[in-house]
C-alpha cells in the first residue's frame, strides 16, 4: 500500500494560507474609502462606479523589478509594497487620474505568513497614503517555481479622471516649462544594473555602509521608498499639460511619452546635482553618462510640463511637502526629441 498524499506533501500549506489571510484583514480594512463596498474575504472586490460628467477609468499594472531581491536579501519586507503602490499611483497620475482602488499579487515558493503580512503592510501603507482602497488580491504558493526565500509581487490599480481633464502630449505647447520633482533614490528601476555594480564592483553586501551616505547601509539606500507625487500635484492638475513618470528608460525614455511629434524637450542636466547614489554607481560600474540617464532616474522622479504662470505654485507645493523641485528645461519646436544639455 502506498502512502497517502495531501496538498502539504506537494508543497502547498493551506493552513499557512489561512493564517496569511487573517493577518491581511486589519491591513485591508485600514485602507477602506467611501467607495469601497462589501466585506473582507469576498471572491471579488467591490467599488462604487465613479461619478461625473464623462468619467474615464484609468488602469495600470506593475511590479517592483529586482528591487525585491534587496528586500529578500536584507530581510526587510515592510516597504516594498509601499513602493509598488506609489509607482502605480504615479503611472495613472501621468494621465491626470486619481486612484480609487488597488489589488496586489504575492507569489511564494513556500508561503511565510509573517513575510506575507509585512509585504501587504507596505501595500496598505501606500494605499492609505494615496487614499486608495485595497479591495482584494491573491497570495499564491507555487513550490517548484520560486525557490525560498524568493517571492514576487505585482500590483493593479484603477483610477478615474474626467475625459476633458486627461493629461498628455496633445495639451503640450511650445514655451511650456519642465519642472523636475526629486526622487528618493532609484525608485523601482535600474536595480539589475545597480545590484550587479554593488556586488561585483563595489564588493558590498546589503548590511555594509554605502559610500558617501552618512552611515546608511546598502539596504537603507536601495530600499528607499518610491515617492508618490499625488499629494503635491493633485490641486495643480487643472493647470498641468503633461506629466512624465521617470521610471525604466530614465528621462529620455519617459519624457518623450509626454511630447507631441512637433515639439522637443530641452533638459538642462546641470540644473540639479545628481545624488550620491547615482554618482557612486556610475563611477564604480564605469557606466557611460548617457547610459546612466537611460538606466537610472538620476534624481528626478517626475517631470511636469506646465505653462510658466503655473510653475511657481507647483514648486511651492513641493517645497511645502519637503520635496525639491526646480526648473529643469523647456519645450521648444522640434520633432519629439529629448535633448539633454549640460
In order of their start, the domains of the chain are: 8-165 (3.30.1330.10), 169-341 (3.90.650.10)
In the prediction, which pLDDT does 310 show? 96
Q: How many helices, marked H, and strands, marked E, lie in the chain?
A: 11, 12
Using DSSP's 3-state secondary structure scheme, residue 269 falls into helix
Closest CA to 177 of 17, 294, 328: 328
Q: Which cell goes with 236?
A: 495643480
Using DSSP's 3-state secondary structure scheme, residue 301 falls into strand
Q: Is the pLDDT assigned to residue 16 strictly greater than 70?
A: yes
Q: Is the pLDDT assigned to residue 236 strictly greater than 80?
A: yes
In the structure, what pLDDT confidence band is assigned to residue 249 with cuts at 50, 70 and 90?
very high
Note the helical H segments in 56-160: 67-74, 80-93, 113-129
Closest CA to 251 of 313, 306, 322, 181: 181
- Tens of pLDDT, residue by residue over 28-59, are 889 999 888 887 877 788 888 888 889 999 99
Cell 467599488 belongs to 47
Q: What percent of the chain has a predicted confidence (pLDDT) above 70?
A: 96
Q: Is the pLDDT assigned to residue 199 strictly greater than 60?
A: yes
- Tens of pLDDT, residue by residue over 138-177, are 999 999 999 999 999 999 999 999 999 999 999 999 999 9
pTM of the model: 0.93
In the prediction, which pLDDT does 338 show? 97
- How many Å apart are CA 329 and CA 271, to the nearest integer? 8
- Tens of pLDDT, residue by residue over 112-133, are 999 999 999 999 999 999 999 9
Q: Is the pLDDT assigned to residue 1 strictly greater than 80?
A: no
Amino acid at each position: 500500500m502506498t502512502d497517502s498524499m495531501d496538498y502539504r506533501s506537494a508543497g502547498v500549506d493551506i493552513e499557512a494560507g489561512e493564517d496569511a489571510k487573517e493577518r491581511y484583514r486589519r491591513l485591508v480594512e485600514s485602507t477602506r474609502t467611501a467607495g469601497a463596498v462589501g466585506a473582507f474575504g469576498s471572491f471579488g472586490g467591490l467599488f462604487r462606479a465613479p461619478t461625473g460628467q464623462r468619467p474615464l477609468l484609468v488602469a495600470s499594472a506593475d511590479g517592483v523589478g529586482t528591487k525585491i531581491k534587496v528586500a529578500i536579501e536584507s530581510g526587510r519586507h515592510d516597504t516594498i509594497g509601499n513602493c509598488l503602490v506609489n509607482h502605480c499611483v504615479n503611472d495613472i497620475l501621468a494621465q491626470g487620474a486619481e486612484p480609487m482602488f488597488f489589488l496586489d499579487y504575492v507569489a511564494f515558493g513556500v508561503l511565510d505568513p509573517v513575510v506575507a503580512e509585512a509585504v501587504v503592510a507596505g501595500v496598505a501603507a501606500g494605499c492609505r497614503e494615496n487614499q486608495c482602497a485595497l479591495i482584494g488580491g491573491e497570495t499564491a504558493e507555487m513550490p517548484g517555481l520560486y525557490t525560498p526565500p524568493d517571492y514576487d509581487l505585482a500590483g493593479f490599480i484603477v483610477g478615474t479622471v474626467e475625459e476633458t481633464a486627461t493629461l498628455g502630449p496633445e495639451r503640450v505647447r511650445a514655451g511650456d516649462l519642465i519642472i523636475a520633482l526629486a526622487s528618493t533614490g532609484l525608485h523601482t528601476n535600474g536595480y539589475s544594473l545597480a545590484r550587479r555594480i554593488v556586488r561585483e564592483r563595489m564588493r558590498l553586501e546589503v548590511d555594509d555602509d554605502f559610500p558617501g551616505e552618512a552611515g546608511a547601509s546598502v539596504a537603507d539606500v536601495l530600499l528607499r521608498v518610491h515617492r508618490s507625487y499625488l499629494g503635491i500635484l493633485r490641486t495643480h492638475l487643472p493647470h498641468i499639460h503633461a506629466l512624465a513618470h521617470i521610471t525604466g528608460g530614465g528621462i529620455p525614455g519617459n519624457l518623450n511619452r509626454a511630447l507631441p511629434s512637433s515639439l522637443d524637450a530641452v533638459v538642462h542636466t546641470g540644473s540639479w546635482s545628481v545624488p550620491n547614489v547615482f554618482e557612486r554607481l556610475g563611477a564604480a560600474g564605469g557606466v557611460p553618462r548617457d547610459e546612466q540617464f537611460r538606466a537610472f532616474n538620476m534624481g528626478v522622479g517626475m517631470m511636469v510640463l506646465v505653462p510658466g504662470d503655473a510653475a511657481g505654485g507647483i514648486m511651492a507645493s513641493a517645497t511645502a511637502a519637503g520635496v525639491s523641485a526646480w526648473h529643469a528645461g523647456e519645450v521648444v519646436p522640434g520633432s519629439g526629441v529629448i535633448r539633454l544639455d549640460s
